[in-house]
Structure 1
Amino acid sequence: MTPEALKVVVATHNSHKVAELQRILELQVPGIHLLAYGGPAPVEDGDSFEANALIKARAAATETGMPAIADDSGISVDALGGAPGIDSAHFSGERDDAANLRLVLERLGDESNRSAAFSCAAAFVDPLDTDAEGRAFEHVALGVWPGRIALEPAGVGGFGYDPIFVPEGLDVTSAELSADEKNAISHRGRAFAALAAVLRERSRRGDS
């Protein structure tokens, strides 16, 4: 295998996420090519971002027989007791970005404490690399992006809660940043930057 042949499936049905991860990783893992995994979604019954990311990566690796990556991310709002947290994607009861962020704003109301943080757990599972007991190689990295919740949505970039999240040190929402600006500092960018070192090692081993 050469670095140009490093193919990894991404355990998501979200095309925006695949494109975002490709932009993030190709700068740090030359030649990586991410493939969307369109198979059945596993039940995400973990109690943390890390656990759910591993559930998805394991399922994709098992179904395809290929190395797989997955992430699980969400936003935790201090004044809401850490909610939505791992329930971020379905906070309103459905997978609807607009409805989810509206509910966060409604729950906060005129609350003065609007501190929040995005978290992302990035998991990698390689079924082609097993230990003596047949267990696939696994690694998980966590990235956290602190900030606050805006009073109202702003910006048209990104997705999910981006229009109401103001990153620490900035006065614009995540949705008002360019893709490159966001990827350089976001929770997902931080998690996958950490995971990139593991992926580079796999690439070097395959080229040896």
Structure 2
Amino acid sequence: MNLLIVSSSQRLPSESAKVAEYIAKTSQGYDEIFHLELCRYQLPFWNGESLAKGEDWDEIELRLSKADALVLVTPEWGGMASPLLKNFLLMCDRQTTAHKPALLVSVCSGISGAYPIAELRMNSFKNNKLVAIPDHLIIRDVNNMLGELCSGEHDINLRSRVAYSLHMLKQYSQALSQIRMAHAAQAYPMEQEYAYGM
């Protein structure tokens, strides 16, 4: 089982990457855990052409293919998920991502953070067929959370919630691997007619 953690801030360094590194460090039970920091790759804006994904896409697609579960970490900017993450999700196709579970994580320096989760759930998985699990994480006041020197009550509770969400993601990854295997063994007739969600 492999875990791919995608952080999508367009800044270096970023709190999103800090959260992604914490998740990578505390995830358990995977053969391989990889943190993909999107801003370190040269990805073009998606224009609808599958051949125009840029030279870095082959490496990313290989990571996506190997992954059994994903964690998608986005900062909240203006009440929205990062443009980099939305672009990345448009570039993903069902051959590499279908029926793989994703844990959504929103990062916010203030007290908000819910809007990116709602946005991602509403319109980010129709064609790539990722499966957002019911649990999600909102890391509010991120500057004071999940750091090496953080130890307040809220931080302790948050770390416990992160552990629970990662445990649930692992369970979904095991369950959905069965669906992917069954589907590979017996695909639906004329499946290509239903490549895109309604």
TM-score of Structure 1 vs Structure 2, range by shorter chain: 0.3 to 0.5
Answer with 1 or 2: which has the greater Rg. Answer: 1
Choose between structure 1 and 2: higher strand proportion: 1
TM-score by length of 1: 0.39
